[in-house]
Amino acid sequence: MARYLLVRFFGFIFVIVTVSFITFFLMWSTPGGPFDESKMPLEGAAKANILKKYGLDQPFYVQWFKYMVNAVQGDFGTSFQYQTPVKDLFLKFWPNSLLLGVLSLAWSFPVGIIIGVIAALKRNTVIDYFITTFALVTSSLPQFAVIFFALAIFAVWLKVVPYGGWIDRTPDLKVLILPVLIFGMGTVGSLARYTRSGMLDVLGQDYIRTARAKGAKRSVVIFKHAMRNMLVPIVTIFLPTVTNILSGSIYVELGFVIPGVGRFFLLSIFARDYPMIMATVLIAATILSVTYLLTDVAYTLLDPRIRLA
């Protein structure tokens, strides 16, 4: 285990360095910039001074190296767009993304497991076909299209929910219900499919047939034996989903005007706000790497047959 964790640690360092370098290179090589003439007319000494102030007059590799040295120390720079430390912006916006994500997971995770188990127990019936179709549709529909039609129907036509988010208001149930439901739809569909597949695999094992032959109750077979041994596929999709919760949703936050990390990440791309873009990418990559490590470790705890080499 110690050797595996050490290898993964060096792999994590490699991933972060590679991701940061590629992201920085793409930003640097794309035509235009945060102080482009079309957005902020600058000439001569004025332009030179502002580029020097933010270190944009230095070679690409120097800018990247200095940024990474500061980022390791927790300094992600100052946002060009908001003239505020990026760290402060994250502290301001991240709670909104977390609220949206946690509420979405709170309903989508149990619902996905329950309907997946029901589909497996009712295999090849109308209920199974309905749940399978529902799971396929919800996990395949483009999120931006669902948001568009949901707003058109419930906010514009029926007027049962307000249009927009909670930038200028305290979020209440009416404001939360649509983004929470839409954000969790994909998780429900994917989790239901994984759960159904895992449950069918477990129900076909010899020890399940043995338990049934010994006269064990159906509820005992399902909840004590089958559910316990189908947690690996559930963990496979659950822990990476946490990454989406922590990093926010660009489509949902933009469509419902929610002041979260995902929305401001997209706005930062449009504004060429390099520090904000880099910070978001680095934090998302870190969370994703840690999540997959925790997933591998969770496998060994759930199934003793799995060993980390």
pLDDT (tens digit per residue) in 169-188? 666 777 888 888 988 888 89
Residue 23 lies in a domain: no
Does the CA dihedral 134-139-144-145 come out positive or negative?
negative
Could you tell me the CATH number of the domain that includes residue 198? Answer: 1.10.3720.10
pLDDT of residue 197: 85
Paired residues of 85 in beta bridges: 78
The residue segments making up the domain with residue 122 are 93-260
pLDDT of residue 167: 62
Question: What would the two tokens of residue 117 be?
Answer: 């188990």
What interhelical angle do 60-72 and 274-302 show, nearest 10? 50
Residue 293 lies in a domain: no
SS3 labels along the chain: CHHHHHHHHHHHHHHHHHHHHHHHHHHHHCCCCCCCCCCCCCCHHHHHHHHHHCCCCCCHHHHHHHHHHHHHCCCCCECCCCCCEHHHHHHHHHHHHHHHHHHHHHHHHHHHHHHHHHHHHCCCCHHHHHHHHHHHHHHHCCHHHHHHHHHHHHHHHCCCCCCCCCCCCCCCHHHHHHHHHHHHHHHHHHHHHHHHHHHHHHHCCHHHHHHHHCCCCHHHHHHHHHHHHCHHHHHHHHHHHHHHHHHCCHHHHHHCCCCCHHHHHHHHHHHCCHHHHHHHHHHHHHHHHHHHHHHHHHHHHHCCCCCCC
Residue 65 lies in a domain: no
pLDDT of residue 130: 94
Give the CB-side neighbour count of residue 56, counting CA atoms within 13 A: 21
Residue 137 lies in a domain: yes
The CA–CA distances, whole Å, from 31 to 26, 28, 77, 119, 281 equal 10, 8, 22, 52, 20
CA angle 257, 263, 266 (to 5 degrees): 135
The whole-angstrom separation of Cα 122 and Cα 171 is 40
Question: What would the two tokens of residue 44 be?
Answer: 């001569």
Residue 114 lies in a domain: yes
Residue 199 lies in a domain: yes
pLDDT of residue 39: 54
Paired residues of 78 in beta bridges: 85
Sequence-ordered list of residues with C-beta below 8 angstroms from that of 173, at least 6 positions apart, any chain:
none
Question: What would the two tokens of residue 61 be?
Answer: 């590799």
Residue 203 lies in a domain: yes
Residue 139 lies in a domain: yes
Q: What global pTM score does this model have?
A: 0.80
- How many domains are there within the chain? 1
pLDDT tens by residue, 107-135: 988 999 899 989 988 888 999 999 999 99
Q: Spell out the per-residue pLDDT of the chain, length 309, in tens.
A: 677 778 778 888 898 899 989 988 888 877 766 666 555 555 667 667 777 777 777 888 888 888 888 888 888 888 888 888 888 988 888 888 888 888 888 898 899 989 998 998 888 899 999 999 999 888 888 888 888 888 888 888 888 877 766 765 666 777 888 888 988 888 898 888 888 888 888 777 777 777 777 777 777 777 766 777 777 777 777 777 777 777 777 888 888 888 888 888 888 888 888 888 888 888 888 888 888 777 777 777 766 666 665
Sequence-ordered list of residues with C-beta below 8 angstroms from that of 121, at least 6 positions apart, any chain:
199, 222
